[in-house]
Amino acid sequence: MATTVTSEDIALTGERQAAARRLLADPIVTDRTHPEDFALIRAHSDWLIQRFRRVLGYELTIAADHARLAKTGLARDTARPLARPSGAHFTPRTYTYLALCLAVLVEAPATLLLERLAEDVGAAAAEAGLALDPRERMGERRAFTAALRKLAEWGAIGEDRGGLAAYADDSGEEVLLTVNPEVVRRVVAHPPHATADARVFVDENSATDPAGEDAGEIALRRALAETAVVYRADLSERQRRRLANHQWRAAAELGDLLGCEAEIRAEGVALIMPSEAAAEGVAAFPSADPVGQASLLLVERLVARLRPVSVPESGVEVPEDVLEGELAEVLAAETRAEPGRGTRSALRHEPDPDTLAARALRLLHDTGLLHHPDPASGDRSGWRLRAASARYGGRPSGGSPTSPSGGAAGEGGAPDGAAVPATTAR
């Protein structure tokens, strides 16, 4: 007997998958930071908890005002540095201030003056034997404030009066914070235990190639969900066999959870998100922000310039002069006006061309479209186009970039969708 699928069933499935995509991209979701998404998460809590546990082995906790998806495995392979609003990565000093703030805020009152928090953080640093005090110099204060702004982004604190950005420039700015102690406690998904080496802790929480078949298949699904493109050549021999045997089942499970499709090719597998994922802000690539658009334009130009007939496992070498020339053309797009083209104007909001170039290259490396042995080195030699970049070819280098909506712009070769994101918070 045939089963009738109603519009209500389709809407229900869409809501669940949108909520799952939000949690995968932002593992801390609160009623303050994402009110509409959090309402969906609460409405479908049982389904989400069960599916994340079964498909990915992740534990989802949903409280009255927040949800926390605690991830396991892939600690080294998919971790992304935290970043300031400018896009600059956190320094070790900023991470230290983040840890100190969490230690103090976990027992803080519901409202707290920022001046008092700075004093308590300085005392906690002294107790730990650290020569750090956010009240001493502007550089210290800015690192301290960057950590707090990240906590505000996660919903752990709020700005009740005054602003953190203003305090970074002027220590006389009075700021009153509100504190959500439950979210503060949830920020660290896996509290560290006593260990002499931080790498040991990371290794214990990273399981990319377990021996057991069930655990190995879950690890494979995690890699597909958290990595924009999974290349067979990058997997261990055991995981390559698992991918060959279970790729269609893994694609079906992840499609049911996230509403995505899988593009399975000889070189590897990529998850292609529905077009609405771009509007949700959960797609890794392409995206509408300046770095995403610069990256898209750059990879399109490189593919059009090099025109690789096929891409070997090692990738196609990008000559240094070609890369420099194409980067210059992309950065020059900031100053060129194109009537009716909103995508180019988006690039104008990036103040530092050198930073934009470095971030664009890093994004293309992280999403598996380019590769470099040390992408943070700033070296323009040694870059290679990887196989997945070919899907963004098909247009002359002078063409306009793909629409940031997530679908193809019409004349380009970009996909109607985007790769699933590699998330930062674990």
Q: What are the pLDDT digits (tens) for 91-116?
A: 999 999 999 999 999 999 999 999 99
Query: Are 361 and 394 members of one domain?
Result: yes
Q: Is the distance from CB of 421 to CB of 282 less than 8 angstroms?
A: yes
Structural domain including 255 reads 213-273
**Range in 4-8, 51-55, 405-409 with the lowest mean pLDDT:** 405-409
My answer on whether 367 and 341 are in the same domain is yes
**Domain contains 2:** no
Q: Which two tokens stand for residue 136?
A: 């001493």
Q: Which of 137, 152, 187 is the last residue of a domain?
A: 187
Of 124, 147, 414, the residue nearest 283 (C-alpha): 414
Q: Is the pLDDT of residue 44 over 90?
A: yes
409 compared with 160, residue with greater pLDDT: 160
pLDDT band at 414 (very low <50, low <70, confident <90, very high): very low
Confidence of residue 225 (pLDDT cuts 50, 70, 90): very high
Mean pLDDT of 14-24: 95
pLDDT band per the 50, 70, 90 thresholds, residue 394 = low
Q: How far apart are CA 199 and CA 190, in angstroms?
A: 14
Question: Does residue 203 form part of some domain?
Answer: no
- How many residues are recorded in the chain? 426
Can you say whether residue 307 is alpha, beta or left, with left for phi > 0 and alpha for psi between -120 and 50 degrees? left
Same domain, 29 and 109: no
* 426 part of a folded domain: no
pLDDT at 421 over 80: no
Band (pLDDT 50/70/90 cuts) for residue 300 is very high
Give a yes or no: residue 195 inside a domain.
Answer: no
Q: Is the pLDDT of residue 373 over 80?
A: yes
Write the CA distances from 362 to 107, 266, 271, 287, 365, integer angstroms.
38, 25, 20, 14, 5
Q: What percent of the chain has pLDDT over 70?
A: 81
Predicted pLDDT of residue 189:
81
All residues at 6 or more sequence positions from 77 whose CB lies less than 8 Å from its CB, including other chains: 206, 208, 223, 226, 227
259 band by pLDDT with thresholds 50, 70 and 90: very high
Say what the pLDDT of residue 293 is. Answer: 87
Mean pLDDT, rounded, for 348-363: 74
Taking only the tens place, the pLDDT of each residue in 145-191 is: 999 999 999 999 999 999 999 998 888 889 999 999 999 999 988 77
Q: Would 400 be classed as within a structural domain?
A: yes
| Pair type for strands 28-30 and 59-62 | unpaired
For helices 92-105 and 114-127, angle between their N-to-C axes, nearest 10 degrees? 110
Largest CA distance in the chain: 74
Give the whole-angstrom CA distance, residue 203 versus residue 72: 11
Q: Is the pLDDT of residue 357 over 50?
A: yes
For 67, which DSSP code?
E
Which CATH number covers residue 172? 1.10.10
Q: Which residue has the higher pLDDT, 8 or 163?
A: 163
Say whether both 260 and 374 belong to one domain.
no
Asked whether residue 103 is assigned to any structural domain, the reply reads yes
Which among 203-212, 251-260, 288-297, 385-394 has the top mean pLDDT? 251-260
Give the pLDDT of residue 72. Answer: 81
Q: Are residues 240 and 298 in the same domain?
A: no
Write the burial class of residue 40 (CB in 10 Å: 0-12 exposed, 13-18 middle, 19+ buried).
buried
Residues contacting residue 131 through CB under 8 Å, at least 6 positions apart: 125
Q: What is the pLDDT of residue 103?
A: 94
| Residues 151 and 114 both lie in one domain | yes
Compute the average pLDDT of residues 391-413: 43
| 267 and 294 belong to one structural domain | no
pLDDT of residue 348: 43
| CA angle at 30 for the pair 25 and 34, rounded to the nearest 5° | 65
Q: Are residues 410 and 293 in the same domain?
A: yes
Contact 419, 270 (CB under 8 A): yes
Does residue 424 fall inside a structural domain? no
Q: Is the pLDDT of residue 269 over 60?
A: yes
Check whether residue 172 and residue 227 sit in a common domain. no
What is the model's pLDDT at position 110? 94
Mean per-residue pLDDT over the chain, rounded: 82
pLDDT exceeding 90 applies to what percent of the chain? 54
Within-domain flag for 381: yes
Asked if residue 337 has pLDDT above 90, the reply is no
Split into its structural domains, the chain has a count of 4
At 70 the pLDDT is 92
**Mean pLDDT calculated for residue range 352-373:** 88
Q: Which amino acid is at 382?
A: G
Please choose, from the candidates 409, 413, 423, 422, the residue with its C-alpha nearest in 3D space to the C-alpha of residue 275. Answer: 409
Burial (CB < 10 A; 0-12, 13-18, 19+), residue 299, is buried
Tell me, what's the pLDDT at 2? 53
Across the range 394-421, mean pLDDT stands at 37
Residue 419: alpha-carbon gap to chain centroid: 11
Residues with Cβ within 8 Å of 134's Cβ and at least 6 positions away in sequence, in order, are 97, 118, 121, 122, 140, 141, 143, 144, 145
Specify which of 67-76, 127-136, 193-202 reaches the highest per-range mean pLDDT: 127-136
291 and 269 assigned to the same domain: no
- Spatial separation of the C-alpha atoms in residues 270 and 264, rounded to whole Å: 7
Domain end: 273, 297, 321, which one?
A: 273
Tell whether 113 and 44 lie within a shared domain: no
Q: Give the pLDDT band (50/70/90) at residue 413.
A: very low
- CA 323 to CA 44: how far, in whole Å? 47
- pLDDT of 406 > 60? The answer is no
Write down the pLDDT at residue 45: 97
Helices (H) and strands (E) in the chain, counts: 16, 13
**pLDDT greater than 50 at residue 410:** no
Task: Decide if 125 contacts 100 (C-beta within 8 A).
Answer: yes
Q: What's CA 165's distance to the chain center, in Å?
A: 23
Query: Do 262 and 293 fall into the same domain?
Result: no
